[in-house]
Amino acid sequence: MALLAAGVVLLSAAIELLADAVGRHLTIWRAVPLPHSHEGRVVVLLVLLAGSVALAALALRSRPAALVLSVEGGSLRLPSDTLERYLAAELARDPDVVSSKATFVLRDQRLTAHVRVALRPLAPPVVLRERLAGMAQTALRGKLDLAVEVREPVVKVLRVHDLPRYLK
């Protein structure tokens, strides 16, 4: 919402400056005084340009990259955060998992899943690492029919005093 408001302010100021440069008098905001000298107006226009570039960078940066996968009959475009949330939720169904996070990387038309999992205290990490890798393969290949290479999950066995941070 703040980006939208800042965009409206920048656009209206740019309209006023351009109208003034053409010789027309147009005032959208009477409370915002514009400098009368050409040097001052150039500075204001440069500030507006820099603000526009910064807003565009923020808007583009906040969007998650989409994964474009080749499937039978064409291609499938998936937002990566949707797939990441799905896999994390599937792994969180295990009773030994306190929290999980998944990330996907697409390189050379090969999709790779990286999984980080926090386990309850005293959980056996070796056994769970294999079980969670199998669960991830089942969730992605079995249920979604995606050809995904699942890297060995990075597991962290939590200590009791670490639990409040993960259970929020």
Per-residue pLDDT of the chain (168 residues; tens, 9 = 90+): 666 766 777 777 777 777 777 777 766 656 566 677 778 777 877 887 887 788 778 777 766 667 777 777 887 777 778 888 888 999 989 999 999 999 888 788 788 889 999 999 989 999 999 999 999 988 888 887 778 888 899 999 999 888 888 776
Pair 156, 163: CB distance under 8 Å = no
145: left (phi over 0), alpha (psi -120 to 50) or beta: left
Q: Would you state the pLDDT for residue 98?
A: 92
Q: What is the pLDDT of residue 161?
A: 87
Domain boundaries, the chain: 2-61, 66-166
Is the Cβ–Cβ distance between 127 and 91 less than 8 Å? no
Fold of 66-166: Alpha-Beta Plaits (3.30.70)
What's the pLDDT score for residue 165? 83
pTM above 0.85, yes or no: no
